[in-house]
């Protein structure tokens, strides 16, 4: 994370729902299909990539989120240093996967803004702007989805009960943030 100005500095608190940005977090995008890809990534991450749709896997350091049958997002659990955008894990994966043509590793730390939503009525907020059916999603911890929220592409990760992480592209983040602010105030 180097040169960027976050638009989101304050925290939203409305009707028992709080929303804040979590930053800086390492985010990597992994793509690959081959069997060797899975074994190499498994060794490097110390985690098996989830292959079931709309699920995730987690250990004490990382969370891997299923995006598509050959695409995952890896995020760090803990915040990383602000004055660097070099990550040991990215280098390791880059050398073992990208350089050996097993797949692709892309650093998307700065591409996505990570928001953390906490409160009882998170899914009521989502329901006011998303076509996705959250009925099953909200029952299960660790579920993920990519969908639309107020016509903006988002990745939603159900971290814990009443705790959800939302990823939105940086250029859309200010717009989504103001929509969330407005929408949450009307819940």
Partner 1 sequence: MFLINCPYCGERDQQEFKAGGEAHIERPKQPTELSDDEWAEYLFMRKNIKGIQFERWNHAHGCRKWFNMVRDTSNDEIKLIYKMGEKPPSD
Choice between 17 and 149, CB closer to partner 1: 149
- Kindly state the smallest distance separating residue 69's Cβ from partner 1, in Å: 6
C-beta atoms surrounding 20 within 10 Å = 16
Nearest C-alpha neighbor of 58 from the set 71, 74, 35: 74
Choice between 36 and 71, CB closer to partner 1: 71
- Contact predicate 186/21, CB 8 Å: no
Question: What's the residue count for the chain?
Answer: 187
Choice between 51 and 84, CB closer to partner 1: 51
Q: Which of residues 47-66 bind partner 1 (CB under 8 A)?
A: 53-54
Number of residues that bind partner 1 (CB under 8 A): 14
- DSSP labels, 27-57: EEEEEE-SHHHHHHHHHHHTSPPP-STT-EE
The answer to the question of residue 5 lying near partner 1 (CB under 8 A) is no
Here's the x/- map for partner 1, 66-85, by CB under 8 A: it reads as -xxx-x--------------
**Collapsed DSSP state (helix, strand, coil) of residue 77:** coil
- Kindly state the smallest distance separating residue 88's Cβ from partner 1, in Å: 29
- Kindly state the smallest distance separating residue 133's Cβ from partner 1, in Å: 8
- Kindly state the smallest distance separating residue 15's Cβ from partner 1, in Å: 26
Residue environment code for 84-123, b if the CB has 16+ CB neighbours within 10 A, otherwise e? ebebebbeebbebbbeeebbbbbbbbeebbbbbbbbebbb
Choice between 12 and 176, CB closer to partner 1: 176
Here's the x/- map for partner 1, 128-157, by CB under 8 A: it reads as ---xxx-----------xxxx----x----
Unique residue bearing structure tokens 């098996």: 48
Interface positions with partner 1 (CB under 8 A): 53-54, 67-69, 71, 131-133, 145-148, 153
């Amino acid at each position: 994370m180097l040169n960027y100005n976050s638009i989101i500095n304050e925290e939203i608190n409305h009707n028992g729902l709080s929303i804040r940005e979590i930053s800086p977090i390492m985010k990597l995008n992994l793509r690959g299909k081959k069997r060797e890809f899975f074994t190499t990534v498994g060794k490097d991450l110390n985690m098996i990539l989830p292959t079931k749709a709309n699920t995730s896997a987690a250990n004490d350091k990382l969370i891997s989120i299923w995006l598509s049958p050959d695409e995952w997002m890896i995020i760090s659990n803990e915040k990383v240093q602000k004055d660097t955008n070099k990550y040991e894990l990215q280098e390791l994966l880059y050398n073992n996967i990208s350089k050996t043509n097993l797949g692709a590793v892309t650093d998307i730390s700065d591409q996505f803004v990570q928001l953390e939503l906490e409160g009882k009525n998170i899914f009521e907020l989502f329901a006011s702007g998303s076509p996705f059916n959250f009925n099953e999603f909200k029952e299960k911890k660790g579920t993920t989805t990519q969908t639309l929220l107020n016509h903006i592409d988002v990745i939603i990760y159900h971290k814990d009960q009443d705790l959800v992480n939302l990823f939105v592209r940086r250029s859309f983040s200010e717009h989504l943030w103001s929509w969330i602010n407005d929408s949450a105030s009307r819940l």
